[in-house]
Amino acid sequence: MDEGKMDENEWGYHGEGNKSLVVAHAQRCVVLRFLKFPPSRKKTSEEIFQHLQNIVDFSKNVMKEFLGENYVHCGEVVQLPLDFVKQLCLKIQSERPESRCDKDLDTFSGYALCLPNLARLQTYRFAEHRPILCVEIKPKCGFLPWSSGVTHEVKHRVCRYCLHQHLKLSRHFVFPPATYEGLIQPHPRRHLLSSLFVIMTLGGMKRQLTVGFICVSLTVRDGAGLVTGSSAICMFSFELYWFKSFAHF
């Protein structure tokens, strides 16, 4: 990628989480991951570079050791023209979910993490016959601690991830709240649904895929992501999309 010849019109909004925002190139299978921060908590260019470099180093020195170099894309830290970053920020602002706009894209350092776009396949021979799906399953703190240092009894029954979902629900950080009523409890059911999702989608058959995506639609939405045609689908409405898009299977 030629950092000196960057055109914001060649890039589009791909998605974002709590700490990062990702844009994808329209033609090439590459994405840029930018950090974002609350307006009152800006960081220096050196801090941002080190944060991104730590991600690369962790991928190289830890994840590759566990998974093997053929299954880990470490990416590289690149420095982009500030004018490009600022224009890109303006271009994608209208596409960002309102709930994520409490943090701003880093437009001061110019640093970003360049990675391959794994939501797009390298070959499109069958793309015209059926939609291409990319599923992101993020690991969460779903284990129950046994340490004697855990003083709250509830933490021995409910994992940290589920407790965090309760907290966000009580503070209205998740929307719509009605979607979650009755789904967070009992605690083991959510983890069972997530496991069923993985098992069913690996099968690849129509009936298994349907069951798998119903399972993931019944769990809290920030534990997984769904991308089709390199565009993210809102997890609150993807059930309708699923049945429309795959009716011809």
Q: Which domains does the chain have, with CATH numbers?
A: 8-116 (3.30.200.110), 133-245 (no CATH)
Distance CA 35, CA 111 (A): 9
Question: Using one digit for the tens of pLDDT, what is the confidence trace for 188-227?
Answer: 555 555 555 555 555 555 565 665 665 555 554 555 555 5
Report percent pLDDT > 90 for the chain: 30
Window from 27-31, 62-66, 199-203, 213-217 with minimum mean pLDDT: 199-203
**What is the enclosing helix (H) or strand (E) of 74?**
none
Dihedral of CA atoms 228, 232, 233, 235 in degrees, nearest 10, equals: 120
Strand order across the 224-228 sheet: 133-137, 224-228, 231-232
Secondary structure of residue 36 in the 3-state scheme:
strand
Beta strand pairing status for 11-16 and 20-25? antiparallel
Q: Bigger pLDDT: 114 or 161?
A: 114
Query: Is residue 174 very low, low, confident or very high in pLDDT (cuts 50, 70, 90)?
Result: low
Q: What is the mean pLDDT of the chain?
A: 74
Q: Which comes out higher in pLDDT, residue 77 or 223?
A: 77
Q: Is the pLDDT of residue 124 over 60?
A: no
Angle at 215 between CA 209 and CA 219, to 5 degrees: 145
Q: Which residue has the higher pLDDT, 218 or 33?
A: 33
* C-alpha–C-alpha distance, residues 151 and 156, integer Å: 9
Question: What percent of the chain has a predicted confidence (pLDDT) above 70?
Answer: 58
Average pLDDT for residues 238-246, to the nearest whole number? 48
pTM of the model: 0.65
Cα–Cα distance for residue pair 136/132, rounded to 1 Å: 13
- Higher pLDDT, residue 72 or 183: 72
